[in-house]
A = this chain, B = another copy of it.
Amino acid sequence: MAKDRKIDLVILGLLAHEDLTGYDIKKNIDRSISFFWKGSFGSIYPALSDMEKQGLVKRNESDNAGGREKIAYHLTKKGKDALKGWLKEERVSNELKYETLLKLYFGGVEDRSVTIRNLEVFEESIRQNLEVLQIYKSNLEKVLDEEDHLYYYLTVTFGIDTYEAYLKWCAKSKKLLKK
């Protein structure tokens, strides 16, 4: 596995659950974890090739009935071990890169109204994301007895809780700036 290529772990993790094509991997990322992780075709396909060379994943026997090639992959033993090894590693990289905070920090260069506007733009996007996550949450709550859903549920509540904290902070900050 490439040393710092996190997309490898995403692929390994998704394949642990079910066999997938590169295209499906992309869809899964977009649907389920895009609020804290992204992936593009340009990173997924090369990663799959590399990982196959390293024996972490393997192509399934092609079952494409005449149609265009469709290459699904599954995890090998080595791949599953790599995934488990990573889960047990304590070193993690958690990184937040918020341009909004940068604009806020340098807000003094412009009129306060500019910063207030920037806060409102941020607020609006958070509110939208929050709505989506809340729908996910209520759907997940109906099926929480299944172990797999529990982990998804936890990431969703992470999103909801932090977004709610953001909104409270926005309100507070706007108030302070308007004084």
Contact = CB atoms under 8 A, between A and B. Distances in A.
Interface in A71-88: 80, 83-84, 86-88
Interface of A: 6, 9-10, 12-13, 16-17, 32-33, 35-38, 80, 83-84, 86-88, 90, 92-110, 114-115, 117-118, 121-122, 125, 147-148, 150-152, 154-155, 157-158, 161-162, 164-166, 168-169, 172-173, 176-177
Listed from nearest, the 4 A-B pairs whose CB atoms lie closest are A13-B106, A165-B165, A92-B99, A94-B98
24 contacts: A6-B97, A6-B99, A16-B108, A16-B109, A17-B108, A33-B101, A33-B105, A35-B96, A36-B98, A38-B95, A80-B109, A84-B110, A86-B103, A87-B107, A87-B109, A90-B118, A92-B98, A94-B122, A105-B151, A150-B177, A157-B169, A158-B173, A161-B165, A162-B169
